Structure 1
Amino acid sequence: MTRRIVRTITQLAAAALFAFLIIFFLDRNFRLLPNAVHEYMPQHHHGLVVTDVTITQCSKVNLFSSCKLDPDLWHRVEKNLYLDKSWVSSAYVHVQRKKEEELTADDKVVVGLTVGRLDPSNSAKGQADERWESRQAGLWVLRSSKPTASDSKKAVTAVDVLFGDDAVEARDGWELQNTPLLLETGPDIPSAHITVRQGGDVEPIKPQPRINNNGKFKIMQLADLHLSTGVGHCRDAVPDEYEGGACLADLRTLDFVSKLLDEEKPDLVVLSGDQVNGDTAPDAKSAIFKYAHLLIKHKIPYVSIFGNHDDEKTLSRAGQMEIIEQLPYSLSVAGPDDIDGVGNYYIEVLAQGSSKHSALTVYLLDSHAYSPDERQWSGYDWIKKNQIDWFRQTAEGLKKKHKEYTHIHMDLAFIHIPLPEYREKDSQYVGAWREGVTAPKFNSGFRDALVEQGVVMVSCGHDHANEYCMLSADENTNNPELWMCYGGGAGFGGYGGYGEYVRRVRLFDIDMNEARITTYKRMEYGDTAGHIDQQIIVDGGNVIPPRAKR
């Protein structure tokens, strides 16, 4: 009898362990799949107010522990506060919401959230029915029992979580709690921060780019920032220490960019892919907000496309673009739904003064990530036929309007992965070619489409240590047709180990008075004041071969 009981208990324990292992590995594998994470997208106001906030903590090894609450009452913010990096623990923020018009006199509305070990009520005067209420992980909630019109303006209408000691909030109307939630985390788990919106939506600022009154316009290309969730770790840094201390990738990258924004004062920033370093950015939003916050602070409009790492093991391209589209100063858009990729679009830069005519058109296309046909075309993906068709149709459709501009209109393009023509060693180029060109092996013909439509320059990223501009010419007449440039890797979270490679940023200085484009690079270390490899690539609206500096 005793043996039977022992055998039964052993079998039950084995079954429980087997079930746990299945759940555990399925759960981990699901999280490791690209684009499998469904992040919480805070709801727009639409009359909803938050009536309560709480945090659940649970154990991964205890089958009877749960982080779930009644879904009819609570909405869970689908971000594990441990970012799935803890083997034993999970925690989630839960929010109760109600339509404003359905509130009763007995309802309470959240009007404040804070984080700390001490009761905020001890240091602030308040009504007896508006005391701070304690929740787990050091969260304190202030709720008003008088949902009047004045309370509605300060009512919390959305709650989110951002991660990292360097976390910043980029959305208008939102406020980040600098004190992280009090969780038992190790050094490899970025701290979790509550961020809230009070009141209704704030329409983001979307400035229209315009040529300056002096006829000039400057574009800064930020290629391969490779930002993380948290401060990140430097790869192949030159030098390997930063201001006498350890090299923290994101801090050093953003300090470099901030310095150039102050000195160069660009009119437009193009983020040409791999802004997010997928492997080290389990919360893509926290990484995106870092560069966005910097550009918003400088009041510079920006456009972005994706690289092969942005959505790697993190939020999908579509999910990221939905966030980016709503940020101040962002002119990025998802583009047409019926063609391949996310982020196929163009923006117009208007002529100076109050003119409504376009002086510059900037095309941006999604060059995707990895080959869909590794057996035949190993390596990287290519720009698809329906994208090229869209580009041709769009460019043709804009030509009539562009002719109304009284000067010479110019077209530019940006992609992430280089075109196959970047490999042509016999072509003239200016700058350093340090590594193999990892362009797609299948040539879909986008270079020819660019030339056909009169685009004078295309610039990419992807190969961090390549930072040349190459002249593509007609194979029969040898007439210059297109400049193909690299931005050069700017971020310390990505590789740079080719001959003591120094991070850099490419700029395009455009003079519409002469229809001239001058390009150069700025360095993070060494000759930090110099204009490296400065050259005129377009003059009088025409692509020209390399020539002496002016």
Structure 2
Amino acid sequence: MYRSKYLLKSLRKVLLVAAAVLTIVGVLAALQQLPHDNSNTLSSSSSPLLQLLVANAVVDVSIIKCWRSSCKVPDGYTKVVPLLDHANPGHLFRYYLVAKHQPVATATRVLVELQLGPSKKDVPGANVPPDTEYTVLDAYTLTKRFVATTPTEGALLPDTEAIRDVEVLFGTSDFADARPFHHASHYTADEQVHPVVSALKISATQADHYLKQLADFEVLKQEMTFPFEGPKFKVLQLSDLHFGQATGKLQVDGSVSSDLRTIRFVEHSLDEEKPDLVVITGDLVDLDRSIDYRSVLLKALQPILSRNLRFVFTFGDELLGIPSTDGETSARIILFLSSLPNCYNSMAEFKALAHGTANYNIKVVREGAVAAHITVLDAHQQKLENSQMNYLYRINNDFKDIYKLLFFHYPLPQFRPLGKFKIVGSYNEKHPLNSKTDSKFLDDIINCGYQAVGVGHEHENDACILSEHADNRKIWLCYNSATGDSAHTRLDSEYVRKLRLFQIDFEKKELLSWKRNEKDKSGFDYMMIHPIP
């Protein structure tokens, strides 16, 4: 009997790993099926995993010049979109990178270094090293270095780091591609938005290890579980960062915000607190001041990606006012996020609910049992709907006495309490909330056993409000405050940015919360969430 159970468990794990690999490939296929220029185009939003899985490498990269929509792509090459001068639309000519991929087993050379820069008048001629080539076209110069391979002798050595994929991104001097094995080459070092070529450079040995890591996490993502053995599980909430393509945002008072300042604040907080999970409750980016959503997402997430932290994202008001067809914009964002390492967002849950596209429940598993639920809901169009309450009941029916935290962007009506109420923190924005969410939903949330709700949206509120109900039922409703320097503050232009933390202490059976502020980067307003004093 025991042997049968063991075999079934082993078989299930094998099937999950196989499904994980298929999911990775499926994400790639879905990304490539989204609209792009033509059939001879490789979208640079595509993950490089497909090339790794089929043992390909980049054997050459060049630049082509197109007359508006008329392009001649060399045979064997694929056009990398978007175009290099995407940040400067309106030009008669358009410039694209084109890349040639080839199976390593048949290649005679592979690309190992790639740099993009302005045109050079002094490109070396006779003194160019034999492994180096330059491509110069108008305002652009590519510097390329190759390593020769010998197909008859097994091609590339397993420890040789070769470029497997090339992407065109955009940013300023504060942009970094923090994904593992990605190397970014900036066109220029100034603070104007410019093209950045990001190359995935990885050896076969590294790829084997990396793909195993991705497949292992994909199993957890499909099960939506977080195995954890420590005594304290810590969640760091980020909200309303409002990253854009440029270095900052022009504010109403004429000042210019600093996205780099936000990055430094988040980095310091992550290093000091060392959270187990990061929950992003919307308004991560300002799409209306972004020319490439992938680039600005990578910019915003670089503190998390560079620290190899697990995270989950749900939407705020990013999509308000953004034209889209059948959720195409949100689909692209979720697809791209799902391709990032350690991100719990996935397409598996994309159409599981009638409302929103980013609804997830992560089960923290400790000592072989579910010990906590970390749930995020998508407050699409600034509201929650019945389908999401049904989802909460469905995922919580079998889990009564565990710790539960719920996160979404737009506050419930009860975040504007009447009369006297208990509060910890600053409660500055008191204008009518105009919440479209049914007020009865808070009863549903309490019935499902949640001890606290964490929201964003209101940039100058950082308080936790105790909402008290009949039968001695209570729940803390907690604001995060704006974390990003580019988040507009109407009441106080000098408002100090903050972020919130929650910590489950399994041994003491306590749930705590506190905040960190950007000014002195310290923790403050430590409070007991559960049990309620």
Which band: TM-score by shorter chain? 0.7 to 0.9
Which residue of 504, 523, 526 corresponds with 1:534? 526
Find out whether 1:448 has 2:449 as its counterpart: no
Please give the alpha-carbon distance, in whole angstroms, between the structure 1 residues aligned to 2:161 and 2:307: 28
Cα deviation, 1:313-346, whole Å, max 9, x if unaligned, reads 5982221222222223323334242323222111
Please give the alpha-carbon distance, in whole angstroms, between the structure 1 residues aligned to 2:333 and 2:527: 35
Q: Is the 8 A contact 2:412 2:437 kept in 1?
A: no
Cα–Cα, structure 1 residues 145 and 523, in superposed 2: closer, same or farther, change >3 Å? closer
Question: Counterpart of 1:32?
Answer: none
Please give the alpha-carbon distance, in whole angstroms, between the structure 2 residues aligned to 1:538 and 1:393: 23
Q: Letter of the aligned partner of 1:441 in structure 2? A: K
Report the alpha carbon displacement of residue 501 of structure 1 after superposing the two structures with TM.
Answer: 2.0
Please give the alpha-carbon distance, in whole angstroms, between the structure 2 residues aligned to 1:84 and 1:528: 35
Q: Which runs of 5+ in 1 are unaligned?
A: 1-34, 59-63, 241-245, 371-379
Cα–Cα, structure 1 residues 498 and 147, in superposed 2: closer, same or farther, change >3 Å? farther
Please give the alpha-carbon distance, in whole angstroms, between the structure 1 residues aligned to 2:113 and 2:320: 34
Which residue of 168, 180, 193 corresponds with 2:187? 180
Which residue of 436, 440, 465 corresponds with 2:460? 465
Report the alpha carbon displacement of residue 157 of structure 1 after superposing the two structures with TM.
Answer: 2.5
Please give the alpha-carbon distance, in whole angstroms, between the structure 2 residues aligned to 1:306 and 1:40: 23
Find out whether 1:328 has 2:346 as its counterpart: no
Q: Which moved more, 1:303-312 or 1:504-513?
A: 303-312
Report the alpha carbon displacement of residue 489 of structure 1 after superposing the two structures with TM.
Answer: 0.5
Q: Which runs of 5+ in 2 are unaligned?
A: 1-33, 38-42
Question: Counterpart of 1:362?
Answer: 374
Question: Counterpart of 2:352?
Answer: 338
Question: Counterpart of 1:198?
Answer: 201
Q: Is the 8 A contact 2:234 2:275 kept in 1?
A: yes
Q: Letter of the aligned partner of 2:463 in structure 1? A: Y
Report the alpha carbon displacement of residue 437 of structure 1 after superposing the two structures with TM.
Answer: 5.6
Q: Is the 8 A contact 2:446 2:473 kept in 1?
A: no
Please give the alpha-carbon distance, in whole angstroms, between the structure 2 residues aligned to 1:501 and 1:37: 42
Q: Is the 8 A contact 2:453 2:477 kept in 1?
A: yes
Please give the alpha-carbon distance, in whole angstroms, between the structure 2 residues aligned to 1:160 and 1:269: 27
Matches within 5 A, 1:468-483: 468-474=463-469, 476-477=470-471, 479-483=472-476
- Matched residues, number: 458
Q: Which moved more, 1:216-225 or 1:291-300?
A: 291-300
Cα deviation, 1:130-174, whole Å, max 9, x if unaligned, reads 441314311133456646344486443311012222221122232
Q: Is the 8 A contact 2:463 2:478 kept in 1?
A: yes
Q: Is the 8 A contact 1:273 1:305 kept in 2?
A: yes
Report the alpha carbon displacement of residue 503 of structure 1 after superposing the two structures with TM.
Answer: 0.8
Please give the alpha-carbon distance, in whole angstroms, between the structure 2 residues aligned to 1:154 and 1:93: 25
Which residue of 243, 257, 266 corresponds with 1:227? 243
Q: TM-score, normalised by structure 1?
A: 0.73
Please give the alpha-carbon distance, in whole angstroms, between the structure 2 residues aligned to 1:468 and 1:425: 15
Matches within 5 A, 1:231-246: 231-233=247-249, 235=251
Cα–Cα, structure 1 residues 310 and 502, in superposed 2: closer, same or farther, change >3 Å? farther
Question: Counterpart of 1:163?
Answer: 170
Question: Counterpart of 2:113?
Answer: 112
Cα deviation, 1:341-379, whole Å, max 9, x if unaligned, reads 22211112232xxx22222110111111x3xxxxxxxxx
Identity of aligned residues (%): 26
Q: Is the 8 A contact 1:234 1:492 kept in 2?
A: no
CA RMSD after TM alignment:
3.4
Please give the alpha-carbon distance, in whole angstroms, between the structure 2 residues aligned to 1:124 and 1:52: 17
Q: TM-score, normalised by structure 2?
A: 0.76
Which residue of 483, 489, 493 corresponds with 2:486? 493
Find out whether 1:319 has 2:312 as its counterpart: no
Q: Is the 8 A contact 1:303 1:331 kept in 2?
A: yes
Q: Letter of the aligned partner of 2:375 in structure 1? A: Y
3-state SS in 2 of match to 1:389: helix
Which residue of 424, 447, 460 corresponds with 1:430? 424
Cα–Cα, structure 1 residues 96 and 138, in superposed 2: closer, same or farther, change >3 Å? closer
Please give the alpha-carbon distance, in whole angstroms, between the structure 1 residues aligned to 2:284 and 2:311: 13
Q: Letter of the aligned partner of 1:385 in structure 2? A: N
Please give the alpha-carbon distance, in whole angstroms, between the structure 2 residues aligned to 1:523 and 1:131: 49
Q: Is the 8 A contact 2:456 2:479 kept in 1?
A: yes
